[in-house]
Structure 1
Amino acid sequence: MNNLWNKFIYKIGSPIYDQFFNTGIFLKARRQILDSIAFKKKQRVLFVGVGTGADLELINYSDLDIVAIDYSPEMLENAKAKFINSDIKFIEMDAQDLTFENESFDYIVASLILSVVPDANKCFQEMTRVLKKGGKIIVFDKFIPKNKKLSFTKVLIRPIIMLLGTDIGRSFEEIISTNNQNIQVEEDSSVMLNGMYRKIILVKENRI
């Protein structure tokens, strides 16, 4: 997995992305997660790896100051087309190298991105950097279930899955332990496939 390969994969996959990841259990999980978030009017929200805008379709975006980024221009164009009359700012950008100032956002929504970027640690560091103190990161992604190892079958197929632009073998516990920048886990719950996909809410502590 690298940026160029991912850009190629998502160029190919952009026309059919919604058919797989914005329907069925994925749509149900997205709706369940976003319905539980009490966004307040005028809050600044960053969608990291917005893809085709699947998450944006499930919130009252007109009340928020939203910036949505993605590394794939094709995915981003699909999202733009859905919200052509909105004030959402769509920007082509690498989630591992955000160009925003420190502590710029009240919320960050990170759906299916930490398992996709080549370097999940860099992505996590960047998200925490641009999050305001007291702000929250909403993660929806697949990780190795807590306190478990990757099964033998998944170990075998992991390299093949990575060629498709995603990783089934990442541990959220390793990511946060390596990059704990005053971040605390507020919620960590299973939303799909027996704990493989999780809803994780993180809070940036308001330390002096």
Structure 2
Amino acid sequence: MKNNNTIFNQFSEDYDTWYETKMGKFVDELESEAIFSLLDLPENAMMLDVGCGTGNFTYKFADMGYSCVGIDIAGNMLKHAKAKQQDEKIQFIEMNAENTSFEDESFDCIISVTAFEFMPYPDLIYKEMQRLLKPNGSIIIGTIQKGGSWYQLYTSDICKDTAYAKATFLSLEDLKNLDNNQVVDFKECLYLSPTLNEEEYDKQHEAEYKKKEDKGGFVCVKFKKKN
């Protein structure tokens, strides 16, 4: 975990600029729609965002009315997350997700989006998530999917000087195998190619690529904790 902490502290200054590009905005839109489609939460739910980074999804859930806690091991990323805070009631805490300080069954929903790729021990993280989850609560994990076109980009030389050089990507089956007995749903998206021109990042091209690609570039899996 220490090495990953160093990596994301190093790239924290420019991290949010991705969301300012047309490509970044559209990718974020697709990933958000996939995650939101899996939500099934009580009103005033307490949520935990694991590997929250600069708070992209933490703020989205806070805007939806949920109480949110975001944790990350990269202090510099959390500084940027906190700097964006206005009236939202969000806690951002520097913490190792393998061994948190929260009490058992503290959260109604736990999410982690594009963070599991950088966690060397996903089984341990998932086990800790289960400890923190209330009965009938949900865990939603979203990642860049192994084998897709975006995986090919992030594992190419183009990204050798980025945080993705240290990533270990997971497939849909890899995610399901974290806890097959509690998988209840999943979504894939981001079928379009990362090599398209900027103006081609739209729903039409996403639909066209979905017809010919067998894997989405992004996949998210929902786990439901049994009583």
Aligned to 1:143: 145
How much has 1:111 moved relative to structure 2?
0.5
Determine what percentage of the aligned residue pairs are the same residue. 26
How much has 1:73 moved relative to structure 2?
0.3
Mapped to 2, the partners of 1:81 and 1:126 lie a distance apart of: 28
Alignment of 1:24 with 2:25, yes or no, is yes
Q: What pairs up with 1:50-65 in 2 under 5 angstroms?
A: 50-61=52-63, 63-65=65-67
2:70 pairs with one of 68, 71, 79? 68
User: Secondary structure, in 3 states, of the residue corresponding to 1:55?
Assistant: helix
How much has 1:122 moved relative to structure 2?
0.8
Mapped to 1, the partners of 2:105 and 2:219 lie a distance apart of: 25
Q: 1:62 to 1:163 in 2, by over 3 A?
A: closer
What does the per-residue CA deviation read over 1:174-198, in whole Å, with 9 as the maximum and x for residues that have no partner? 4543x53x85212122112432310
Mapped to 1, the partners of 2:155 and 2:56 lie a distance apart of: 30
2:128 pairs with one of 126, 129, 136? 126
Aligned AA (1:104): S
Q: What pairs up with 1:30-45 in 2 under 5 angstroms?
A: 30-36=31-37, 37-45=39-47
Decide whether the 8 Å contact of 2:135 with 2:225 is kept in 1. Answer: yes
Mapped to 2, the partners of 1:132 and 1:9 lie a distance apart of: 32
1:46 pairs with one of 42, 45, 48? 48
Aligned AA (1:198): V
Structure with greater helix percent: 2
Mapped to 1, the partners of 2:14 and 2:77 lie a distance apart of: 10
Mapped to 2, the partners of 1:28 and 1:63 lie a distance apart of: 19
Mapped to 1, the partners of 2:101 and 2:110 lie a distance apart of: 15
Mapped to 2, the partners of 1:18 and 1:173 lie a distance apart of: 30
Tell me the matched-pair count: 196
Would you identify which runs of 4 or more consecutive aligned residues in structure 1 move more than 4 Å? 153-157, 160-163
TM-score (norm. length: structure 1): 0.79
CA-atom RMSD in angstroms: 3.0
Q: More relative contact order in 1 or in 2 (CA 8 Å, sep 6+)? A: 2
Mapped to 2, the partners of 1:143 and 1:99 lie a distance apart of: 30
Mapped to 1, the partners of 2:62 and 2:103 lie a distance apart of: 25
Mapped to 1, the partners of 2:64 and 2:145 lie a distance apart of: 32
